[in-house]
Amino acid sequence: MPTTELRLDVLMHLSNLPGVPGQEDAVREFVLRELDGLADEVRVDALGNVIAFRAARKPKKSEKVERVMVSAHMDEIGFLVRFIDDQGYLRVQALGGFDTRNLFARNVTVHTRGGTLPGILTPGGRPVHIATPEERKKIPEVRDFVVDLGLSADEVRRRVRVGDMVTLDQAARQVGNLVCGKAMDDRASVFMLLEVLRQLRGKRPRHDLIAVFSVQEEVGLRGAVVAAYGAQPTVGIGLDVTLAVDTPGSTPDEAVTRVGGGIGIKVFDSSMISTRWLVDEFADLADAQGIPAQLEVLALGGTDGAAIQRSRDGVPSVTLSLPTRYIHTIVEAVHVDDLRAGVDLLCAYLR
C-alpha cells in the first residue's frame, strides 16, 4: 500500500484563511505560492479560478492521452454584510447552507477595505434568563442574526460597507487522528490536490492534468462551470467532502461514509450520478493498490464533479469524497488516513 507524508501544517493554514464565495483572494494567493514549480502553466481566469496545467508524458504506442480536469473549491460558507441598522448592528446575507443551531454566540471577523474588525454573531431576542419557554425552543433563521462590533453606529458606518465579507473564527487543530477547523469543506480537498501535484513534481502524468482551484462552489458550482467550459476536459474529477454519519444518534444505514474508512468514491448525489465506468475504475484501482476506499451515496449535496459532467456536450466524471464529521460547522473534522488515501488514489490514477 502506498504511503504519503502529509504536510498537515499546510492544511491547517488553509483552513484558517478567510474566503467566502466571490472573495477567495487570500486562499488564491496562498495556492498560487504553493504552485510555484509544480505546473507547466498557471493562470487565473476572469472569475478567479486558479488553473494549473501539467502536460502528459510521451504516450506509449496505442496509449490514449486524456485531458483530466480535477477540481477542488477554495470558497467557504460565510456571510456578506447586507444592512447596517440605526444602532450599528450588522445584518448578514448567508453564502452557503447553515444549520443555525450552530451559529449561536460565535466570534466572527468582518473584512473591510480598511482592515479586519472583530465581531460577535448572535441572534436577536432576549437572553435565556428572561426568555419565555417558547422563545427558548425557537430555532432562529439567518435573518434573525446580527453582528455586534462594539462600536457606535457612526463608527460602524464609517468603517463597514454593504458587501463586506464576514467569516466565522476558529483555529484549526489536531484532535487525535482528526484535523478539525472551519472550512475543511473544501480546503481539505484543496490541500489534497496540492499534495498530488507535489507528489508528481519531476514526473510526467499519464494524462494531461488540468488542476482547478475553483471559486463560488457553495453558491452553485459557478467556478467549475466556467473552468470546465474553457478547459474542455475528456475526464472530470471533483474533489470535495461528504458526510461521515458515524457519530452517536445515527443509524448504520444513514452512514454515508465513515471517518477512517478511506476515501469516498461517489456513486450518487443530488447533483450528479457519477459515470459508472469511472466509479469502477477507481474502485478497482484502490483495491489493486491496497488504498482504503468506500463507495458513497449522498441524498443531497453537489460538487464540482457535477459542473464538469454537464459541461459542453457532457464529460465522463466522478467525485472523490473526503469523509467529514460536523460539515458546515466550525469544527469540520477529517481523518489523516482518509486524506492520505485520497492523495494516493488520485496519484495512482494520474500515473
Indicate which residues carry an active-site annotation.
217
Cα–Cα distance, 69 to 77 (Å, whole number): 24
- CA 233 – CA 315 distance, rounded (Å): 7
Please work out, in degrees rounded to the nearest 5, the angle formed at the alpha carbon of residue 268 by the alpha carbons of 266 and 274. 65
The whole-angstrom separation of Cα 308 and Cα 342 is 19
β-strand partners of 13: none
Return phi, psi of residue 21, to 5°.
Answer: -50, 130
Can you tell me the distance from the alpha carbon of 203 to that of 206, in angstroms, rounded to the nearest whole number? 10
> How many Cβ atoms sit within 10 Å of the Cβ of residue 241?
26
Calpha distance 14→8 (Å, rounded): 10
Cis before 25? omega within 30: no
